[in-house]
Chains A and B, each alone.
Chain A
Amino acid sequence: MSRLGPPVAAALALTAPLWLANPYYVHILIMAGIFAILALSLNLLLGYTGQLSLGHAAFFGIGAYTSALLTLRLGWSFWLGLPAGVGLAAAAGWAIGRLALKLRGAYFVLVTISFAGVIALVAQNWMDLTNGPLGLPGVPAPELGPWSLRTKGAYYELVLAAAALAWLVCRRLVRSRIGRALVALRENEPLAESVGVDATHYLVLAAVVSAALAGLAGVLYAHYTRFVSPEVFLFTYTVTMVIMVVAGGKGTLAGPLVGALLFTALPEALRETVSWQWQMLAYGLILVLLVFFLPRGIVPTLAAWRHARRP
């Protein structure tokens, strides 16, 4: 079972558009994939460095706007807009990291919120560049050689590949020296520094990778919905990321994926019976309840439970 599990899961994931008859389900999987990348991105900071960023919607938005503008205004191909969006988000992550990672805890949170607030105001007010609140319609769908990735099935494979890549990057990172340095800093910063771990260096590195991943999710989102507006900076996105990471299990590799699937599928499943406002109300309550009753998240709790049952 444990040896067959990963290949079977991979095969199921790859062929999902074939056996999912309803395109609506493919849409949900695409959104889950985009949110999985966002959750992985936030988890890198919140889970491995212990610093909560409430400004992640800014990197998401920077990625989305950069690629949308380059493809719309300059006629660039998606395959150039993608690295540009990721790169600019990473650069913003570097700048914010350099500046804000002098601070910790609540102060870091406040700087990240403020940064996202400023970026959102720029997107709303810089009419010439961003078209303000009206947004940018008609973002082109990507093409791959002779094929257009316009269909949901094709776009799903693209998002799946990107999410897999993001996951591999995170895994490579946290299992390396860098990951150990990050965890050491999270657990005891003075001790880690005393054995030669350069706090700023490693935290900024984590911020850059995290911002790049959020930018990647933004690019994918822009070319999927084909429309970008200042709504990409909505705080709702950031809150959703936080819930996914905290519920799935922060500081684990599987947690963000579980959280992303759960909190994309659940609201969609309940959409018929529950309105959007109830959903957000429930998110708030769930966050409170998680801290009280499941502080470590689903994946670590399940792992501990399985471990305890093993003879």
Chain B
Amino acid sequence: MEALLQHLVNGLVLGGIYALLGIGLTLIFGLMNVVNFAHGEFYTLGAYATFAALALGGVPFLVALGAAIAGGVLAGALTERVLLRPLRGESIDTVMLVMIGLWIAMQNGELLAWGGVAKSIPHPFPTAPLVLGPLSVAPLRLFVLGAALALIAGAHLLIQRTRLGRAMRATFQDPDTAALMGVRIHHVRTATFALGSGLAAAAGALLGPIFLVYPSMGDLASLKAFSVVILGGLGNIWGATLGGVILGVAEELGAGYVSSGYRDAVGFVIIILVLLFRPSGLFARAERIG
């Protein structure tokens, strides 16, 4: 029972990060019709930016986090502007090839810049765990969970309550009509990609100090993000939030009770099963072929 509670808490921390990754990806997927295979690379970017700011720049942790998010937003905006805007109107498969190319280029760029040796991010939190009854949680993990929740809430507010968010939702529903109503589609698309990439970078910056930072870390992150999006349904932000938590908890339980070697298989199996048996995701209705 205590072990179960412990797994649930750890799963929740992971789930918060997966939700951040998933929200970013589902926004880009839903609004821009772009299958962003480079999503995990923005996560890696965030982790390395945090490492650089903390280990080399010596700035406070929160500043490093902010720098990572800003880096993700900038890189995302640049990607949209340079690679995706000229390809508007091309088929989704063509754009997918470009994103696969970007993924490989970014990952090996990181490898060249930082080397293949995994790096650990120094963080200011005490390493002694907080003991709450039967549970023990590292303070860093609590901070990560809190920050992830704050960012998720922020993303929801941005999309539901701001002018930009309304423009995004309008573009998602019907780009042509939104354009006719005076929404500047180009800007909305750039902003969406930047927001999604910023969230991915934040996820990397938050999870980086818990695990290690290495160039190919984005591959698994991309996969988890795709599992979350598929679980939650295309373009469904609440679905992605919930899907992230489900995946995080399922992985922790799988690693705890089945086999830790197959931890990452949970995401793969979710993708396969959901796509085959409930292709519209757990919480949506639309069909998904084509």
Question: Bound pair: A and B?
Answer: yes
Determine if A102 and B272 form an interchain contact, defined as CB atoms under 8 angstroms apart: no
Interface residues of A in 74-133 (CB under 8 A from B): 99-100, 102-107, 109-111, 113-115, 117-118, 121, 124-125
A288-B105 in contact (CB<8A): yes
How far, in angstroms, from A114 to B222 measured CA to CA in the complex? 11
In the assembly, what is the distance between CA of A173 and CA of B101, in Å? Answer: 30
Residue B45 interfacial (CB < 8 Å): no
A291 is an interface residue with CB less than 8 A from chain B: yes
A102-B276, A113-B223, A291-B94 known; A285 vs B101 contact (CB < 8 Å): yes
Cross-chain contact of B275 among A111, A277, A285, A286 (Cβ < 8 A) = A111
**Number of chain B interface residues as a range:** 35 or more
> Of all chain A residues, which has the CB nearest B215?
A277
A115–B272 touching, CB < 8 Å: yes
Which residues 272-311 of A have a CB within 8 angstroms of B? 277-278, 280-281, 283-288, 290-292, 295
Contact of A114 among B106, B268, B279 (CB under 8 A): B268
A121 x B93 contact (CB < 8 A): no
Chain B nearest CB: distance from A17 CB in Å?
A: 34
B94 partner, pick from A103, A110, A124, A295, beta carbons under 8 A = A295
Q: Identify A105's interface contact among B92, B112, B230, B264, CB under 8 A.
A: B92
Q: Across the two chains, which residue of chain B brings its CB closest to A132?
A: B261
Q: Binary interface profile of B, 179-205, with partner A (CB < 8 Å = 1, else 0)? A: 000000000000000000000000000
- A52 contacts B96, C-beta separation under 8 Å: yes
Chain A residues contacting B93 (CB-CB under 8 Å) are: 50, 52, 105
Task: Judge if B62 is at the interface, Cβ distance under 8 Å.
Answer: no
Whether B98 lies near A104 (C-beta < 8 A) is no
Prevailing SS type, chain B contact patch: helix
10 contacts between A and B (CB under 8 A): A102-B276, A103-B279, A106-B92, A111-B275, A115-B268, A115-B272, A239-B104, A280-B108, A284-B106, A287-B97
10 nearest interchain CB pairs?
A284-B105, A287-B101, A284-B104, A288-B101, A114-B268, A125-B261, A281-B108, A106-B35, A280-B108, A114-B271
Contacts beyond the supplied A281-B112, A291-B97: 17 A-B pairs with Cβ under 8 Å: A52-B93, A102-B276, A102-B289, A105-B93, A110-B230, A111-B272, A118-B272, A242-B100, A280-B104, A281-B108, A283-B105, A284-B107, A287-B101, A288-B83, A288-B102, A288-B105, A292-B86
Identify the B interface with A (CB < 8 A): 35, 83, 86-87, 92-94, 96-98, 100-109, 111-112, 219, 223, 226, 230, 259, 261-262, 264-265, 267-269, 271-272, 275-276, 279, 288-290
